Amino acid sequence: MDPDRSRAPFWTEMRWLVAVLAAILMLPPVLPLLDRPVTVFGLPLLPVYLFAVWAVAIALCAIASRHALRASGKPDGPG
Amino acid sequence: MTARILVAEDEPFIMESLSFLLRREGYELTAVPNGTRVLDRVQAELPDLVILDAMLPGKDGFAILEDLRRADFGQTLPVLVLTAKGQEADRNRMMALGADAFVTKPFSNQQLLAEIARLLSARNAQGSAKGKPNHGP
Amino acid sequence: MLSPALVLLVGVAYLAGLFVIAWLSDRQAARGGHAFINSPVVYTLSLAVYCTAWTFYGAVGSAVRNGLEFLTIYIGPTIVFLGWWIVLRKIVRICKGQQITSIADFLSARYGKSATVSVVVTLMAVTAITPYIALQLKGIATAFEALVYADDSFAVLRPQIGIWADTGLWVAIVMGVFVVLFGTRTLAADESHPGVVTAIAFESVVKLVALMLIGVFAVLALGPGDPGEPSAELAAALARLTAISEGGEARWAVVTFLSAAAIICLPRQFQIMAVENRNERHLATAAWLFPLYLLLISLFVVPIAAAGLTMLPATADPDLYVLWVPIAAGREELALFAFIGGLSAGTSMVIVSSIALSIMISNHLALPLLLSGRLGGRMPQDLSRAILIVRRLSIAGILALGYVYYRTATGGGALASIGLISFAGVAQFLPALLGAIFWHAANRHGAIAGLATGFVVWAYTLVLPSLPVPALEPLLVDGPFGIAALAPTALFGATGWDPLVHATFWSLLANTAAFVLVSVSTRTNPIGQLQGAIFVDVFRRPAADGEPVLPRSASVEDLRRVAERILGPDRTRQVFDSEAQMQGRPGRDPLPDAHFITRVERALASGIGAASARLMVSRIVKGAPLTVDTVMALLDETRAAIRYSQELERKSAELEETAEKLKEANETLQRLDQMKDDFLSRVSHELRTPMTSIRSFAELLSEAETLDTPHSRRFIHIVKQESQRLTRLLDEILDLSAMESGQIAWHLEPVELRDLLRGSVDTMMSLAERRGVAVDLDLPARAVWVNADPDRLKQVFLNLLSNAIKFADTPEPRVLARIEKRAGEAVVEVIDNGPGVSPALRDSLFSKFGRDWLNNAGDRGGSGLGLAICRQIAERLGGTITLAETSAAGSCFRLSLPLQHVEGRVSAEQPAAVGAVAARPSLAVK
């Protein structure tokens, strides 16, 4: 079986997870837990955490979208 | 000189009557009951006239006539088509293919003999006009 | 600082460049070159119109004042887009299907194409967006002044020369002219503005690049160590930057929620996301690309804020740090570039917002008035022209309003706080919007109740307190008429709440409550139910024409007239012609059935909104009286129609099959026809052949000389024989014909096969002996009974036997006739060791058409119709006759008949073998 086809439903479920998890992780009550005076590579934790979660969510969503578009047979990207 | 006639006919009784009739008239007869043999026999014997049935086993009269006319030995050979297929279309087709005479079965003996005589004399006239010797032993 | 002339020049040049981009893009789109516009990247970049001067300037200001809270403005939209398929895709799908032109159109169309809803939404939108536009004006004007008038202490000294030197005014005027030129050159039937979209996408790139550039610069400026120990205030300020302010959790949640609502409900966002969407698939790309843009644009806000805090005096306006930071570092050209970025951000917002609002105003406010003749008396003939004028006036009006608010209400307020007022205002659309796409029972009354309630509460709790009107002081503090519970900033005792949180909470609570309660307790009118089904069930519907339409009729001429007034003659002709094609009436007028009327209405709606389109069409159509039952019946019909169309698909597949079969049947008939001719010609040939001999010989015999020869006997014999043959042939032909046409009387009775076969063999014995053929019988010990006509059956046996005997040509010809019982059938086989049947003849053996059947039939009798007759008989008796095997070693003809079960009949059972059972000839059949 085409590996994309078998993965596509997985990504369809994944996208729910990404959206919900992103919401939970970037909102109170979870978020204030990370408002500590801790530094990561010299930078404060909270912004690093936020941007990291944000970036990961974007990346996962991008993969899911690619799979969704490929599964429906259309190339994505510009043009 | 006796004219030689090749008769292509598969019905034995008809062949019998023809052979009796023609021999009585003084013609030499070669009987070919099978269509596939006709062209070879014509080429071998070079008769003066061919009596051709349209429906023969192996190869039908139309095809034989066509091939005959294409062969160099058969282009000017007089062909009399003798057939039970009496329809207009068949007649036209045969004439178009180059038959010289068309007689339907059942035929009248007299009519048949007359046609044969006509074709043979025409051929003789042709032959003499071309200066071919028609006297023979 | 920089010279005003320079800044002006650069600014105007940039705007001119934008205009060129838009114009080129429109031209390309008009020529059909949509490739660029159809890119999902362009779509996503155009969505970035979300980032306005608020983002460009105000984000840094918000970071300085409230820490990381500024990120919530971008996190909200991120979450919404990550879950794009839930809400956004549904909205886009509906908009495409219903050709929605704006958010007001969307809500109005959903709630029964209600004009009231569209009016309410339009007014709310204009009210809520006015502060937002003012915010842009403020941002740009302030930035301009900062570049041009600021002194070394980064304080802006505006020359007070009166209103005409007010930068804000000029900004408003320039933008107004620009937008009018930009967005209202023509009236596109589907409200698409490819030029605008391209220009906005370009602007999004510019502002992102500008902000990132300043950000990188700020990072670099911060990099090489600090000049000395940072002061306590600075340290505190820096710490605040990267934290959530105290008590800020509530605000964090609320602002995230508001920005999530805004990304859908802001008229400009709705316009770009749904109305200007070219391809639903672009959403899948925007789902991650847009959050990425937001991430990038917010990434450098904190560094810029930190740099500003470090490098600039505390009195400097944080909203302008983006400009101050490069200037403080001596890089004025960067500051100019930053200004362009801010100008970009601001103008893009103003352009799209005012276009969106002007569409709503013209379609939902002005047009209904025009149509009802209350504006200017007569209805203008060319409505499209009137609509354009109305739109231009609307844009001017919107900007005027924005300017007024800017002058009066923005004062020293932070850009962000102004923007949040707008966010809370458009968030009032959210309950009605979500209800529109998810809740069947949501109706017009509920929507209006919710919208109105939410609007009032919002205005009361948020807008009112923001107006610097002294007379309102007592109201704000003590509540109206001294009722503290109704104080705008502390409703029902909710004191100490952050104003934004407070206002959002109460307005949305009231909104949703009113919406739900009223929807549930009122009845929806038929069209509301219809629209509800169309919207909520959009994903379940297979195609646009599966949707129910109201039963209506109108005259084609009326429809054409109405259409031409809105769409113009060319487009009208297009629509009508394509409908005529679809109806199968090319070149003529389409039939004005309910579907076509709906189609025309929709085409009109794309130009003037659903409510107005409905109004116009309703004037010329006659409809069946609508009741809820009618609508429900319609909805049921749709479901039935969907099932029916599936049926139809199946039937059309069947139809295809049938057509194929018909074609085959036709070919068979033609062949049969041909065969009939063949039969006649064959019969004629068969008849003539014996006739020829007869005649020829008769003629010969009639000549006296022949008569006296020994030949004469022979000839007479031949004549006799051929006459018999002729007679036989004629009999067979007649027999066959009679059998085929059912004229034969069949006398069916029980027949014992062994006896019959034995009798047939006896009959054939003389012929067999004459030809030297040995005939053997192989019969079973027990009787074999069938139900048959004995004469006919004997005819078959005789025919088979005579054929076998006549065709035997080996030195020792043998024929075997045998009977067997096999699987409930009586099987009679006649086997010979003759030459077999050649392949060419096998197919036509039992057919009466076999042209190449027997030659030399002369002395074997029979014309070949015998087997055809045998087949007729066999079939008539319920059996079959076949050539079971044949090869050079011989043939086996097989007749099968159904056995007749005889109860208690004692037949002539003879034990042991009957007749001479000879060795069977072995047939090696290849």
Do C230 and C287 reside in the same domain of the chain?
A: yes
Number of domains in chain A: 1
Nearest chain A Cα distance for residue C86, angstroms: 10
Do B and C have ≥3 inter-chain CB pairs under 8 A?
A: yes
Q: Does residue C913 have a pLDDT over 60?
A: no
Q: Does residue A78 have a pLDDT over 80?
A: no
- Residue C268's CATH number: 1.20.1730.10
How far does chain B reach from its first CA to its final CA, in angstroms?
A: 7
Q: Which of C238-247, C317-326, C903-912 has the highest mean pLDDT?
A: C317-326
The subunits that touch chain B, with at least 3 C-beta pairs less than 8 Å apart, are C
The subunits that touch chain C, with at least 3 C-beta pairs less than 8 Å apart, are A, B
Q: Are strands C825-832 and A43-44 parallel, antiparallel or unpaired?
A: unpaired
Residue C70 domain-assigned? yes
Residue C340 domain-assigned? yes
Q: Which of C53-62, C243-252, C352-361, C767-776 has the lowest mean pLDDT?
A: C243-252
| Closest chain C residue to B111, measured at CA | C696
Find the helix packing angle between C194-222 and C282-299, rounded to 10°: 30
Query: Residue C373 contacts by C-beta under 8 Å, 6 or more apart in sequence?
Result: C379
Compute CA C216 distance to the chain's CA centroid, rounded to the nearest angstrom. Answer: 47
Interchain proximity C249–A28, CB inside 8 Å = yes
Residue A32 domain-assigned? yes
CB half-sphere exposure, B106, CA atoms < 13 A = 19
Q: Does residue B91 have a pLDDT over 80?
A: yes
Q: Which of C212-226, C264-278, C844-858 has the lowest mean pLDDT?
A: C844-858
Q: Which of B64-73, C198-207, C670-679 has the lowest mean pLDDT?
A: C670-679
Q: How far apart are CA C725 and CA C834, in angstroms?
A: 23
Tokens of C549: 């339409």
Q: Which of C379, C357, C359, C356 is nearest to C369 (CA)?
A: C379
Do C711 and C836 reside in the same domain of the chain?
A: no
Q: Which residues of chain C are within 8 Å of residue B12 when distances are taken between CB atoms?
A: 856, 858-859
What local confidence, expressed as pLDDT, does residue C598 receive?
Answer: 83
Which domain, by its residues, includes C793?
747-898
Mutant choice from B24, B37, B105 vs C, greatest count of C C-beta within 10 A: B105
Which domain, by its residues, includes A44?
3-71
Residue C237 domain-assigned? yes
Q: How far apart are CA C398 and CA C404, in angstroms?
A: 10
Do C601 and C714 reside in the same domain of the chain?
A: no
Under the banding of pLDDT at 50, 70 and 90, the label for residue B127 is: low
Is residue C902 helix, strand or coil?
coil
Interchain proximity C285–A18, CB inside 8 Å = no
Kind plus residue range of the DSSP H or E element containing C19? helix C4-30
The DSSP string of C630-675 is HHHHHHHHHHHHHHHHHHHHHHHHHHHHHHHHHHHHHHHHHHHHHH
Q: Does residue C164 have a pLDDT over 60?
A: no
Are the CB atoms for C300 and C113 separated by under 8 Å?
no
The subunits that touch chain A, with at least 3 C-beta pairs less than 8 Å apart, are C
Nearest chain A Cα distance for residue C285, angstroms: 6
Tell me how crowded residue C834 is: count the other CB atoms within 10 A of its CB.
23
Interchain proximity C256–A46, CB inside 8 Å = no
CATH of B4-129, one of 3.30.9.10, 3.40.50.2300, 3.80.30.10, 2.70.98.10: 3.40.50.2300
Mutant choice from C36, C72, C79 vs A, greatest count of A C-beta within 10 A: C79
Q: Which of B61, B60, B66, B56 is nearest to B15 (CA)?
A: B56
Kind plus residue range of the DSSP H or E element containing C788? strand C785-788
- Residue C715's CATH number: 1.10.287.130
Q: Does residue C611 have a pLDDT over 80?
A: no
- Residue C811's CATH number: 3.30.565.10
Compute CA C118 distance to the chain's CA centroid, rounded to the nearest angstrom. Answer: 29
Q: How far apart are CA C221 and CA C218, in angstroms?
A: 5
Q: How far apart are CA C540 and CA C536, in angstroms?
A: 9
For residues C366 and C35, the model is more confident at C366
Q: How far apart are CA C118 and CA C267, in angstroms?
A: 13
Residue C867 domain-assigned? yes
Q: How far apart are CA B86 and CA C51, in angstroms?
A: 98
Mutant choice from C677, C699, C853 vs B, greatest count of B C-beta within 10 A: C699
Q: Which of C608, C626, C644 is the last residue of a domain?
A: C626
Interchain proximity C242–A47, CB inside 8 Å = yes
Interchain proximity A28–C302, CB inside 8 Å = no
Q: How far apart are CA C905 and CA C783, in angstroms?
A: 10
Query: Residue C909 contacts by C-beta under 8 Å, 6 or more apart in sequence?
Result: C781, C782, C783
Compute CA C376 distance to the chain's CA centroid, rounded to the nearest angstrom. Answer: 44
What local confidence, expressed as pLDDT, does residue C414 receive?
Answer: 73
Q: How far apart are CA C49 and CA C205, in angstroms?
A: 10
Under the banding of pLDDT at 50, 70 and 90, the label for residue C742 is: confident
Give the type of residue at C298: S
Q: Phi/psi at C588 (nearest 5 deg)? A: -120, 175
CB half-sphere exposure, C13, CA atoms < 13 A = 9
ipTM value? 0.87
Are the CB atoms for C894 and C874 separated by under 8 Å?
no
Q: How far apart are CA A49 and CA A43, in angstroms?
A: 10
Q: How far apart are CA C452 and CA C456, in angstroms?
A: 6
Q: How far apart are CA C792 and CA C789, in angstroms?
A: 6
Residue A29 domain-assigned? yes
Which pLDDT tens digit goes with each residue over C82-136?
989 899 999 999 998 888 889 999 999 999 888 899 999 999 999 999 999 999 9
Query: Residue C856 contacts by C-beta under 8 Å, 6 or more apart in sequence?
Result: B10, B11, B12, B33, B57
Q: Are strands C749-752 and C774-778 parallel, antiparallel or unpaired?
A: unpaired
Q: How far apart are CA B137 and CA C387, in angstroms?
A: 118
Are the CB atoms for B60 and B50 separated by under 8 Å?
no
The minimal CB distance from C68 to the residues A27, A37, A47 is found for: A47
Do C752 and C879 reside in the same domain of the chain?
A: yes
For residues C463 and C859, the model is more confident at C463
Q: How far apart are CA C500 and CA C418, in angstroms?
A: 11
Q: Which of C157-166, C254-263, C709-718 has the lowest mean pLDDT?
A: C157-166
Q: Are strands B4-8 and B49-53 parallel, antiparallel or unpaired?
A: parallel
Residue A64 domain-assigned? yes
Model pTM score: 0.60
Q: How far apart are CA C867 and CA C848, in angstroms?
A: 8
The DSSP string of C848-877 is TT-TTS-SS-GGG---SHHHHHHHHHHHHT
The DSSP string of chain B is ---EEEEE---HHHHHHHHHHHHHHT-EEEEE-SHHHHHHHHHHH--SEEEEES--SSS-HHHHHHHHHHSGGGSS--EEEEES---HHHHHHHHHHT-SEEEESS--HHHHHHHHHHHHHHHHHHHHHTT------
Are the CB atoms for B47 and B30 separated by under 8 Å?
yes
Q: How far apart are CA C873 and CA C866, in angstroms?
A: 11
Under the banding of pLDDT at 50, 70 and 90, the label for residue B136 is: very low
CB half-sphere exposure, C425, CA atoms < 13 A = 26
Which pLDDT tens digit goes with each residue over A13-39?
788 888 898 889 988 888 877 777 777
Do C696 and C594 reside in the same domain of the chain?
A: no
Find the helix packing angle between B12-25 and C628-702, rounded to 10°: 40
For residues C359 and C549, the model is more confident at C359
Do C754 and C731 reside in the same domain of the chain?
A: no
Residue A52 domain-assigned? yes
**Is A51 part of the contact surface with chain C (CB cutoff 8 Å)?**
yes
Which pLDDT tens digit goes with each residue over C786-824?
989 998 999 999 989 988 888 877 888 888 999 998 888
Are the CB atoms for C49 and C262 separated by under 8 Å?
no
Tell me how crowded residue C115 is: count the other CB atoms within 10 A of its CB.
19
A43 pairs with which residues across the strands?
A40
Residue A7 domain-assigned? yes
Number of domains in chain C: 4
Do C264 and C380 reside in the same domain of the chain?
A: yes
| Closest chain C residue to A62, measured at CA | C288
Give the type of residue at C395: I
Residue A78 domain-assigned? no
Q: Does residue B83 have a pLDDT over 90?
A: no
pLDDT > 70 fraction of chain A, expressed in percent and rounded = 78
Give the type of residue at B16: E
Query: Residue C247 contacts by C-beta under 8 Å, 6 or more apart in sequence?
Result: C498
The minimal CB distance from C242 to the residues A44, A59, A78 is found for: A44
Q: Does residue C591 have a pLDDT over 90?
A: no
Interchain proximity C681–B20, CB inside 8 Å = no
Enumerate the domain spans of chain B.
4-129
What local confidence, expressed as pLDDT, does residue C377 receive?
Answer: 46
Residue A79 domain-assigned? no
Q: Does residue C427 have a pLDDT over 80?
A: yes
Helices (H), C522-627: 526-536, 556-582, 594-608, 610-620
Which pLDDT tens digit goes with each residue over C193-218?
788 888 899 999 999 999 999 999 88
Task: Please state the three-class secondary structure of C199-227 as a single string.
Answer: HHHHHHHHHHHHHHHHHHHHHHHHCCCCC
Q: Are strands A43-44 and C880-887 parallel, antiparallel or unpaired?
A: unpaired
What local confidence, expressed as pLDDT, does residue C76 receive?
Answer: 94
Is residue C925 helix, strand or coil?
coil
Are the CB atoms for C132 and C465 separated by under 8 Å?
no
Q: Which of B58, B93, B65 is nearest to B79 (CA)?
A: B65
Residue C649 domain-assigned? yes
What local confidence, expressed as pLDDT, does residue C916 receive?
Answer: 40
The sign one gets for the Cα dihedral C482, C488, C493, C499 is negative
Q: How far apart are CA C125 and CA C398, in angstroms?
A: 11
